[in-house]
Structure 1
Amino acid sequence: MANPNKAKGTSWESAVRDYMNRALGLVDIDGNWRDVFSAYNVRRPAQEGSADVGDVHAVPFILECKNVKSPAVPTFLRQAEVEARNAGFPYGVAVVKVPRQNVRRGKVHFSVRTWTRVRKELGLSSRRTWDRYEFTASLRGLDTSKWYFTTDVEQFTRMVNHIRKGRR
């Protein structure tokens, strides 16, 4: 891969995918799919056409993965939500690498709207969601479109598992 930034991004996407598949029990000890045809496998889709469909698919989420020095989270969230619509998924989130930290400590950012929709799907109060998945808030200024809620990849993976159990 000639572009070093693309290589960093691809490496981060793969690390998130691999961590989630292991944590969700979707692969065996050797990293092989338990069920290669399962829609619940976390995957990096091939990009086709002009409408981007996100970096990682973790039903029901599209993950827009970023490995950058200066995260522009509101911009990443808008991008994730557009890509979720393009892919036909209900939720889009941004997953940002934390330098020198294990993948499970990466930051998963939710727009307020997405967080509220996910919370309602889980049937949880705001406080219960906040506490259960260890969220923090970034509420800068009066423009609520720039507000977002954050957890880490480990807690997010638990949340994905809980949503999936409720959908079965």
Structure 2
Amino acid sequence: MRDYLNHTLELLDNFGALRDPFDPMNIRRAAQEGARDVGDIHAVPFILECKDVEKSAVPKWLRQAHVEARHAGFPYGVVVAKRRGSGVGAGRVHFSVRTWTRVRSALALHPQEAAELYGVTVSARGLDTGRWYATVTLDRFAVLLADARRAGVSSRAVR
């Protein structure tokens, strides 16, 4: 996941090494912090909780991602999930509705405009809005990440 995003965002040189190893915008695998886990991947301003699974549990994973984003001091926690045995490029990035709305608002995009630009699909199962989420493909997330960085979307946590 880290290598895929670093490559897609052109943060690697022709030999696959980071162009600038000290650049805080590099996608990094986080050191695990035990009880105060800070997520799997840091992609400023996002914490990515990565899942390689047979069975999906997105709402549960999103709650975990939000806690880990707070622990790491990042404003956005999202989940990247792929089916076991499929390639990284098959990953889907899931946002809680609240996180998606905050990201979209930070980019000053109307909901329909954002949906078209990033290929968002929404899962609205049942009446419990806490179980609803928005999903983009990993390649569209890379575009969104680059746009957020260009727009100067804050890397500071919103509490």
CA distance in 1, matches of 2:143, 2:90: 13
Counterpart residue type for residue 109 of structure 1: H
Contact 2:36 2:71 in 1 (8 A): yes
1:166 to 142, 151, 159: 151
Please point out which of 79, 83, 97 is paired with 1:94.
Answer: 79
Q: Which runs of 5+ in 1 are unaligned?
A: 1-15
Counterparts of 1:102 and 1:126, CA distance in 2: 30
Q: Matches of 2:40 and 2:83 in 1, distance apart?
A: 17
Q: Mapping of 1:81-160 within 5 angstroms? A: 81-160=66-145
Deviation at 1:47, TM superposition (A): 1.1
> How much does 1:31 deviate?
1.2
Equivalents in 1 of 2:109, 2:6: separation in Å?
A: 25
Q: Do 2:53 and 2:84's aligned partners in 1 also have CA atoms closer than 8 Å?
A: no
2:4 partner amino acid? Y
Paired residue type of 1:87: A
Displacement of 1:127? 0.2
Distance 1:141 1:48 in 2: 35
- Corresponding residue number in structure 1 for 2:22: 37
Normalised by the length of structure 2, the TM-score is 0.93
Unaligned 5+ segments in structure 2 are 154-159
Give the structure with the higher percent strand: 2
| Contact persistence 1:98–1:107 (CA under 8 A) | no
Shift, 1:49, TM fit: 4.3
What TM-score do you get using the length of structure 1 for normalisation? 0.88
What amino acid maps onto 1:121 in structure 2? A
Note the 1:9-88 alignment, pairs <5 A.
16-88=1-73
- SS in structure 1 at match of 2:35: coil
Query: C-alpha distance in 2, partners of 1:46/1:117?
Result: 27
| RMSD of aligned alpha carbons | 1.2
Partner SS for 1:70: coil
Deviation at 1:76, TM superposition (A): 0.4
Amino acid at match of 2:144: M
Number of residue-to-residue matches in the alignment: 153
